[in-house]
Amino acid sequence: MTERARRGWSWRRGRAAAGVAVFTALLLVFHGLVPHRPGGLGSLLESFLPWLGVLVVVLLPPALLRRSALALVALLLPVTAWTYRFGPLLLPAPEPGADELVVVQHNVSDENTDPAGTARALAGAGPDLIALQELVAPALAVYEKTLARDYPYRTVRGTVGLWSKHPLGGARPLDIRPRGITEEWERGLRAVAHTPRGEVAVYVAHLPSVRVGVTGLASSWRDESAGLLGDAVAAERSRRVVLLGDLNGTVDDRALDPLTSELNVPERGVALSFPAAFPMARIDQVMARSATVGRIRTLPATGSDHLPVLARVSWD
């Protein structure tokens, strides 16, 4: 073989890279076929599904250096699959409408050393509603005092709370506690916000945490709690519903199917919210029924290990 031939593009080199590219595309398209057990493998994959696109970046330079036509063509498969699934999130959002409801969701962390600064930062974004999780004494009193001027209406149940510029009514706790938790545990509420756009049933929730260990993803309590919350939303009689919460799962995670099957998820924006130091996933969610969540974005970091997220909700 001449030197010129060796330097030319080949359909034989790069078979391993081509195989990885094809497998990545299959995971992006058919991730639902990956079994959830053992080890919560399906949920674990879906929690970080967008990051499969990094494999394309890793495989591209070797394919170019080796002049592998096979690998380059194969790489078009995951690029196409990723673009189809996640590309719309990167498109520009429509111009804000006058009838939108602006909401902020934030797990403020029970170890937050600056609750006053956190409250001021959230209020500074000017939302209609602010939903908070991990509210503990004495920080709760600081949030109440700091937000009182701009958000005179509030309801708190256990460690979750809702602050509103508009009157609230019908506030009650939600029973989303998994059967395995026997101690006092109150992480859900439901209230009705009387907005200029009409009444909106607002749900605030904090689902149990998940843990990644040597045996895989431990998520049974989170999964059970998501099912209970989904049942509550499905039984809600109000046509307009907004859910704000730290759901400890992404919208691609099958464990949140009881919610994503009932509610619309954001159409624009990525808004990776956790961990705040190096966000890997958006587990802080805004969903709505009879409405479009047009765009979701993160706000600057506070004293929490989560980033706040802000979304605009417009009614169908």
Contacts by residues 119-122 (CB-CB < 8 Å, ≥ 24 positions apart): 119/143, 119/146, 119/147, 120/146, 121/299, 121/300, 121/302, 121/308, 122/147, 122/299, 122/302, 122/308
Query: Looking at per-residue confidence, does 239 or 215 come out higher?
Result: 239
Give the pLDDT of residue 37: 76
Share of the chain above pLDDT 90, in %: 82
Spans of all domains in the chain: 3-90, 101-315
How far is the C-alpha of 121 from the C-alpha of 119, rounded, in Å? 5
Tell me: pLDDT of 303 over 60: yes
Q: Mean pLDDT across the stretch 214-222?
A: 81
Give the pLDDT of residue 211: 84
Q: Which CATH superfamily is domain 101-315 in?
A: Endonuclease/exonuclease/phosphatase (3.60.10.10)
Give the pLDDT of residue 173: 97
User: Helix, strand, or coil here: 295?
Assistant: strand
How far is the C-alpha of 16 from the C-alpha of 19, rounded, in Å? 5
pLDDT bin (cut points 50, 70, 90) of residue 212 is confident
How far is the C-alpha of 147 from the C-alpha of 104, rounded, in Å? 13
How far is the C-alpha of 174 from the C-alpha of 177, rounded, in Å? 9
Give the pLDDT of residue 7: 65
Give the pLDDT of residue 155: 98
Residue 309 in contact with residue 301, Cβ under 8 Å? no
Give the pLDDT of residue 1: 44
Average pLDDT of the chain, as a whole number:
93
Neighbouring CB atoms inside 10 A of 102's CB total 16
78: exposed, middle or buried (Cβ count in 10 Å: 0-12, 13-18, 19+): buried
- 83-97 residue pLDDT tens: 999 999 999 877 767
What global pTM score does this model have?
0.92
Angle at 101 between CA 99 and CA 106, to 5 degrees: 165
